[in-house]
Amino acid sequence: MFFARKCLGSSFSRPFDGLTKWWRLVKASLLVVAALIAAIAIGVVALHHRGGAHAVGIRLGVELNTHATAAWLALANNLFAEHGLRVEKVIKFRTGPELAAAFSRGDIDAAWACLAPIVKMIDKGAELYIVEAAHYYGYGCVGSPRVKSIDDLRRLGHEPVVAIPGKAAQVHPLLILAEQRYGFRAKVVYIKPPAILSAVMKGSVDAACLPEPLLSVAVKRGLPLLFTAQQVWPNMPGSYLVVSKQLLEKHPEAVCELAAVNEEATRLIHRDLEEAVRVDAKMLGLPEQVINESLHRLYFTTRLNVAEMQRMVDIMYSHGLIRHDINISKYIVDLDKLCKNKR
């Protein structure tokens, strides 16, 4: 009996050993495949959650100019979706009042906008908060065909008439500093774009202070450049990423992601200016040469210079452009605190 079992064992154990090894190999392979499928499924779910149905919906306001180059690049390169944001609407605006109306109606959650209109909105009671900078500079003044220099402006024999796009325009504080620097006093008139360009070209006004790219358009058409922001106001504040109080309170993580989008898009500008020119030209419908000149008159950065921001507020308050003496620091988001787990 023992001999029989021994013989059976010796004759039948090898095939069974082979099957056992084969089955172990199959099980190991199945486990690897299962792990891969699980990893892919988790990735798909995460991607869906980040950029799909669960992404935070954002309604954006964007200046219709080169100041908003970071926003235009972010839209063109799908950066919002990559950061888990779903752009539901993009409202393009030309003036501060247009932006203020959109914010007051609750039509937008965030915007790239110049500081002066932001301050004006805060002064009127809007609950807005500044997240990051978008650029410095990007403003200047041109003369009419008969006013080719600041000296010509001073020698007119009458108070020079200088047009600006609106009372809350960023160029108004710039003009005030230019008056002090160059020793003239202007009669300010408000003309909306693009009519302001026509007025200065026809000589209906003696000069016009303009934002980019309108400034570069004016120079391209032969109007003399009287001065730029760099010449009058070193580190002059430009545009900023600003969000509503509602978005900040309801979706603080979305504000962190908006800041990340702004930072990534700003790096893209410095890495590939030619792409920035192409994107802006397409978005704004202007020749690439004009856009290129315009971008060289701006310095793109996300860094906040709070002292210069407060200086703009102080100029606006002391000259009656706003009613309240605003401490701008109270309206700046502390990103390090808000996004401490992300930064």
Tell me whether the omega of the peptide bond preceding residue 213 falls within 30 degrees of 0, making it cis.
Answer: yes
Predicted pLDDT at 38: 44
Mean pLDDT of 287-316: 98
pLDDT in tens, 45-96: 344 444 444 688 999 999 999 999 999 999 999 999 999 999 999 999 987 7
Predicted pLDDT at 101: 84
Question: What percent of the chain shows pLDDT beyond 70?
Answer: 84
Predicted pLDDT at 295: 98
Tell me what the pLDDT averaged over the chain comes to. 88
3 state SS of 305: coil
3 state SS of 137: strand
Q: Which token pair is 239?
A: 């545009």
pLDDT in tens, 6-55: 343 444 344 445 545 544 654 555 554 444 444 444 443 344 444 444 68
How far apart CA 327 and CA 171 sit, in angstroms, is 21
Residue carrying the six token digits 């752009």: 87
Alpha carbon distances (Å) from 164 to 130, 204, 235, 279: 24, 13, 21, 27
Residue 105 predicted with pLDDT over 90: no
**Residue (of 292, 331, 327) closest to 310 by Cα position:** 327
Mean pLDDT of 1-9: 38
| 253 or 54, higher pLDDT | 253
